[in-house]
Amino acid sequence: MRAQLTLPPSVATELAGSEDSVLRALEGHLDCEVFLRGNVLTLDGSEEDVKVGREVVEEVSELIQLGHEISPGTIGAVTSALDQHESPATILGDVVWTHRSTRVAPKTVNQKRYVDSIRNNTITFGIGPAGKGKTYLAMAMATAALSRRDVNRIILTRPAVEAGERLGFLPGTMMEKVDPYLRPLFDALYDMLDAERVNAYLERGVIEVAPLAFMRGRTLNDSFIILDEAQNTSPEQMKMFLTRLGFNSTMVVTGDITQIDLPGDQRSGLVVVREILTGVRDIDFVNFTGEDVVRHKLVQRIVNAYSRHAQRQAPDLRQASSDAT
């Protein structure tokens, strides 16, 4: 079956993208052949595949006409949303934060659910492998809340135990010691705001970036608090952090339970907390999968390969555990 769609010239130009990158992405996500001549798009394939292709193209065209910038990754977001019977415009149109050329919005159904969860709950846990936008979206939500004056400050924290290193063994001042652990948070922060404003906020304490140990004994009111890399907390540290919650505050906890750097005999606070708090009102857990990867497509393939490897190893690990007992 063949179908031809006549597109507005502006839509055709945007759909072609830089060196046809968007068009190639479209071909990669559809099971029919795609040709663009001028402003006429042709779809060739089975009746069902062409029908799906037409729906995707129409959704993408609508996004373009609404002013959305289309990238190769947008095509994956559109097809994923349609597969889950969700409106791509509803997901991609939920702009969380805009700063100069940076426009932050959910790119997958799960990311949209994550953003809505942060809006609707006091504590949200975002759990899943790298590249899901967990920290980046949380940072955008925090920046937006601060700009609206919903909160008076942003607090960003991480446990400083990665790769087995301890602060006491690292050279330099305290800030130089913690910089390697907190650098990803700074990077996201500088994407959201001008460097001058970030530095001014840091000097005034409007934005605080500190190791998790610095949270002990505090009550955090009127704050948007993000705990990143939470898989490296102990259960005691996780309890300590969560009980810092004060009035008019929001907490977001992110982590990847497949990348725990704690000693082998120590349970992760992120694993334990789910067993304890699932079902508690005003607390939500959002799970991300390989389908939510928004980095380079190769990252998604790597994540999926590791997941398959872990599943293959699971029977062996259970047997080894059984033999040990």
Buried b (16+ CB within 10 A) or exposed e, 170-207: eeeeeeebbeebbebbeebbebbbeeeebeebeeeeeb
Q: What is the pLDDT at residue 18?
A: 63
Q: Structural domain of residue 262, as residue ranges?
A: 97-294
Confidence band, pLDDT 50/70/90 cuts, at residue 165: very low
Does residue 298 carry a pLDDT above 90?
Answer: no
CA distances from 219 to 158, 216, 222, 244, 307 (A): 17, 9, 10, 5, 38
Residue 304 has pLDDT above 80, yes or no: no
Indicate whether 161 and 251 sit together in one domain.
yes
**β-pairing, 40-44 with 33-37?**
antiparallel
CATH (domain of 285) = 3.40.50.300
Q: Which H/E stretch holds residue 12?
A: helix 9-16
Domain count, the chain: 3
Which ranges in 148-244 belong to alpha helices (H)? 174-192, 195-204, 235-242
Are 307 and 286 contained in the same domain? no
Q: Which pLDDT score is estimated for 155?
A: 96
Looking at residue 252, what DSSP letter applies? E
How confident is residue 17, by pLDDT bands cut at 50, 70 and 90?
confident
Query: 177 and 216 share a domain?
Result: yes
Read off the pLDDT of each residue in 197-204 and give the average, rounded to a whole number.
94
Question: What's the confidence (pLDDT) of residue 325?
Answer: 42
Question: Does residue 87 have a pLDDT over 90?
Answer: no
Q: Above 70 in pLDDT, residue 176?
A: no
Q: What are phi and psi of 219, to 5 degrees?
A: -120, 125
pLDDT, the chain, mean: 84
Q: How confident is the model at residue 172 (pLDDT cuts 50, 70, 90)?
A: low
Q: What is the CA radius of gyration of the chain?
A: 22
- Residue 170 reports pLDDT greater than 90: no
Label residue 290 by pLDDT band (50, 70, 90).
low
At 208, is the pLDDT very low, low, confident or very high (cuts 50, 70, 90)?
Answer: very high
Looking at the fold, whether 177 and 218 belong to one and the same domain comes out as yes
Same domain, 142 and 169: yes
Q: Are 158 and 284 contained in the same domain? A: yes
Share of the chain above pLDDT 70, in %: 85
- Alpha-carbon 232 to chain mean position: 18
Q: What is the largest CA-CA distance in the chain?
A: 69
Q: Which tokens sit at 18?
A: 């830089």
* Residue 256 sits in the same domain as residue 308: no
Residue 29 is predicted with a pLDDT of 86
Closest CA to 158 of 190, 180, 134, 174: 180
Whichever domain contains 27, its CATH number is: 3.30.1370.10
- Enter the tokens of residue 146: 């601060």
- Look up residue 284 and give its two tokens: 């939500």
CA distance 228 to 182: 9
Instruction: Provide the whole-model pTM.
Output: 0.74
Percent of the chain with pLDDT over 90: 47
pLDDT of residue 271: 94
Domain match, 203 and 227 both: yes
Q: Choose the final residue of a domain: 27, 60, 92.
A: 92
Q: Which amino acid is at 286?
A: V
* Cα–Cα distance for residue pair 120/118, rounded to 1 Å: 6
Give the CA dihedral 67, 69, 75, 76, nearest 10 degrees.
-110
**pLDDT of amino acid 317:** 44
> How far is C-alpha 84 from the geometric centre of its chain's CA atoms?
19
Is residue 180 located within the same domain as residue 119?
yes
- For range 101-117, the mean pLDDT: 87
Higher pLDDT, 209 or 197: 197
